[in-house]
Amino acid sequence: MANDLIEAQSVCSPITRSAIFIVATLAPGAEAAETVRGWCADVAGLTRSVGKRVPDGNLSCVCGFGSDAWDRLFGGPRPANLHPFREFGVDGRRAVATPGDILLHIRAEQMDLCFELATQLMAALGDAVAVVDEVQGFRYFDMRSIIGFVDGTENPTGRKIERFTLVGDEDPEFVQGSYVLVQKYLHKMGEWNALSVEAQERVIGRTKLSDIELADDVKPSCSHSSLTVIEENGEEVKILRDNMPFGRPGVGEFGTYFIGYARSPQPIEQMLENMFVGKPVGNYDRLLDFSTAVTGGLFFVPSADLLEELAEREPG
C-alpha cells in the first residue's frame, strides 16, 4: 500500500473540550491476548457508531500499545523506537514509569460522547485488561492549564503537524504511526498560588495574561519554556501536546494530564531529561517544585489501517 493511502489514527485531530485517558494492563493468558487482537478491528467501528449520534461532536479515539504488550500481542516486526518508558531525575523529582500496556485517548466536544465510547470499548475488552489509570479531562477557560497559563502554545500547525507527529519512510512498515508519551502531574496549588504573578511567569517563561514568551534577558534558563525547546541541526523539533486539566476539588486534587505525540520518542525524552535532570545537570525545571509526575508511559500508535490488520496477527 502506498504511504499516501495509509490512514493515520486521529492523532492530529483538533483539541476538543473533553477527553478521557485510559491506561490498562493486559491480563495473563492467550485468551486475553486473542480478545485484544480481535478488539483492534472494532475500535474504528465503535467510534463511528457512537460519533454518529452527535455528528458535530468531533469524537475520536487513539489507541496505542506499550513495548511489552506489542511483543506479547503482535510479535515482530515491531516499531523501531518502541521501548519501555525511561525514567529521569533524582529522588523527590523523578519522571516515573508506571504499568501500562494499552492507552486510549478519547476526545470529543462533549463528555457524554467520550463516556459512551469509553464504556463500549471497555465492555468489548472485558476481563482481558485491567484499568490502572483513568482520567477525565476538560478544557479550562481559554486553553489554560489548572495553574493558569495557556497550554500548547508552541504546538506545530498546518502541514507541520503531520511532519512532526507521524512516522515516515524511516520505518516503512509503520508509516503514519506515532509515538505517544503520557504523564499525570499533580500540582501543589496552595504553594503555587502563593507566588506573585511575576514569580509564576519566571517559572513558566511566559506572561500569564497575554501568553507572550519572556525576553531572553529576563527568562531564567531553568524556566519551563527554556527547558522544553528542543533543537536539532539548528531547527526546533516540535511535539504535539493535547494536555488536559483534571481535578477533584473536594479532595484537593488538581492536575494536568500531559500527552505528547511525536514521530520519535527522542524529543519528548530529551524534554523530560532537561526538565527532571537539568540542562546543565542541576538546572532543572522549577515548575517541578510545584508539580509531581505520578504516572508515566510510552506507547506506539499504529496507523488506522495497521490497527485493523493487527487483529489477524499472531505473535511469532
Question: pLDDT tens for residues 67-125?
Answer: 999 999 999 899 999 999 999 999 999 999 999 999 999 999 999 999 999 999 999 99
Q: What is the DSSP letter of 119?
A: H
Question: pLDDT tens for residues 227-248?
Answer: 999 998 888 999 999 999 999 9
Domain boundaries, the chain: 3-312
Q: What is the DSSP letter of 86?
A: P
Give the rounded percent of residues in the chain with a pLDDT score beyond 90: 92
What number is the average pLDDT over the span 20-39? 97
**Euclidean distance between CA atoms 287 and 277, whole angstroms:** 13
> Has this prediction a pTM greater than 0.85?
yes
Q: Is 124 left (phi over 0), alpha (psi -120 to 50) or beta?
A: alpha
CA atoms lying within 13 Å on the CB side of residue 100: 29
Question: pLDDT tens for residues 139-178?
Answer: 999 889 999 999 988 899 999 999 999 999 999 999 999 9
Q: Which positions are catalytic? A: 151
Terminal CA-CA length for the chain: 23
Question: Quick one: pLDDT at residue 4?
Answer: 63
